[in-house]
Amino acid sequence: MIHLKSGSKVWLLLFVLSIFSCSGGQQKQADENSTAQVATTAKVEINPEAQLLLDYLVEMGDYANSRDFPSLIKPSSVYEELDKNMLIVDIRRPDIFKNGHIKGAVNVEFSKLPDYFTNEIKPFEFDKIVLVCYAGQVSSYATSLLRLAGYGNVYAMRWGMSGWNKDFAEGSWLDVVSAAYEDQLETTDNEKATPHDFPKLNTGKNTGEEIMLARLDTLFAQGSSAALVYAEDIFANPGNYYTINYDRRDKYESGHIPGAIRYKPNATLGIVSEMQTIPTDKEVVVYCNTGHNSGFATAYLRLFGYNAKTLTYGNNAFMYDKMVAQEQSLSWMPFTEAEIENYPYTEE
């Protein structure tokens, strides 16, 4: 179970008011008025638990993914700091971990992360705690949840182990990039849904802190697969999903998943009037370039009870050739072998 320690509360974050822009991993500060908007711009009454949670996050301040504390870290930075005060937590399956991992890494299952952080280590004794997975998306999701719990020194390694060595990229990033659905993209500017209440959380708790901790416990217990969706499922039945394109307008207008609605990074999550347009009775898909930043956004939406999922591998999973062709003009981030560092690993 996640617990907020007195020393960690100062690290608690209102995640998405300064979330990454998916246009290439560059971080931006939210508008100074965003925090006030969280509690004041709603046109539809918010249910009590959701309001308590919103108020609590505003009270504790804006921290995650700010300019000073990015939550994505490159494999090269991890390698350069291996001999420093850093803990690497590998959340892949134990059998996969045994076949090769970063020297010094510990193996912890996703669902056991809260217990590990609460009972097995003293998190703030480390300068950085880096979460590592197969491709970077699950660690992004887990990092967001842990930062919401108050652990402001947690980072997700970009590209996962695929960026560490080609042995891991084969069977992961190198095998999943695809242009299979490029011919199905649309350029229609789709409208957001009608505003409505937030999801009912039904935790039975009476304070924002208690509600948040209860939700975090639930999300970790559900496992990471509950927050993932694949391109083939969406393109097979796009009408079954409320799909959020979380990217720049020029990228959205160049072609997006049928039915996708653009929500502006840095001006969506945490803003009541925006979040109230996200349906509570439909599966919500969030996607960006690589799946990293949509993983962060998905964590925030799931905290508030939305049935949100991040599209694994992002645009790379369905429009790869287009990304490569327009990499310079639209700042896409196609995964290539240039992203692989080929650093050493151990089986010990």
Helix (H) or strand (E) holding 131: strand 128-132
Per-residue confidence band for 40, with pLDDT thresholds at 50, 70 and 90: very low
Residue 65 lies in a domain: yes
Residue 70 lies in a domain: yes
Buried/exposed 161-192: b ≥16 CB within 10 Å, e otherwise: bbbbbeebbeebbbebbbbebeeebeeeeeee
The model's pLDDT over 235-255, given as tens digits with 9 standing for 90+, comes to: 999 999 999 999 999 999 999
- The whole-number average pLDDT for the span 30-36 is 41
Q: Does residue 222 share a domain with residue 119?
A: no
Q: Does residue 234 share a domain with residue 142?
A: no
Q: Does residue 271 share a domain with residue 312?
A: yes
**Which pLDDT belongs to residue 271?**
82
Q: Does residue 72 share a domain with residue 158?
A: yes
How far is residue 262's CA from residue 265's CA, in Å, rounded to a whole number? 9
* Average pLDDT of every residue of the chain: 88
Assess whether pLDDT exceeds 90 at residue 41: no
Query: Higher confidence at residue 232 or residue 30?
Result: 232
The model's pLDDT over 315-340, given as tens digits with 9 standing for 90+, comes to: 999 999 999 999 999 999 999 999 99
Which of these, 38, 87, 43, lies nearest to 62 by C-alpha position? 38
- The whole-number average pLDDT for the span 118-129 is 97
Domain tally, the chain: 2
- The distance of Cα 100 from the centroid of its chain, to the nearest Å, equals 25
CATH of the domain at 297: 3.40.250.10
Say which range, 70-79, 109-118, 168-177, 280-289, has the weakest mean pLDDT.
70-79
Assess whether pLDDT exceeds 90 at residue 31: no
**Which pLDDT belongs to residue 34?**
43
Q: Is 215 helix (H, G, I), strand (E, B) or coil?
A: helix
Q: Does residue 213 share a domain with residue 159?
A: no
Assess whether pLDDT exceeds 70 at residue 214: yes
Q: Does residue 121 share a domain with residue 187?
A: no
Residue 258 lies in a domain: yes
Q: Does residue 224 share a domain with residue 134?
A: no
Instruction: Determine the structural domain holding residue 215 and report its residue range.
Output: 182-330
pTM for the model stands at: 0.88
Amino acid at 188: T
Q: Does residue 218 share a domain with residue 307?
A: yes
Q: Could you write out the three-class secondary structure of 221-264?
A: HHCHHHHEECHHHHHHCHHHEEEEECCCHHHHHHCECCCCEECC
For residue 230, what are the CA distances in angstroms to 121, 265, 287, 335? 34, 22, 10, 17
- The whole-number average pLDDT for the span 175-185 is 97
How far is residue 51's CA from residue 199's CA, in Å, rounded to a whole number? 11
Which of these, 15, 13, 11, 12, lies nearest to 271 by C-alpha position? 15
Assess whether pLDDT exceeds 80 at residue 70: no
Residue 4 lies in a domain: no
Q: Does residue 320 share a domain with residue 222?
A: yes
Q: Does residue 210 share a domain with residue 121?
A: no
How far is residue 59's CA from residue 9's CA, in Å, rounded to a whole number? 11
Cβ atoms of residues 311 and 234 within 8 Å: yes
Assess whether pLDDT exceeds 90 at residue 222: yes
**Which pLDDT belongs to residue 42?**
42
Residue 337 lies in a domain: no
The model's pLDDT over 145-168, given as tens digits with 9 standing for 90+, comes to: 998 888 989 999 999 999 999 999
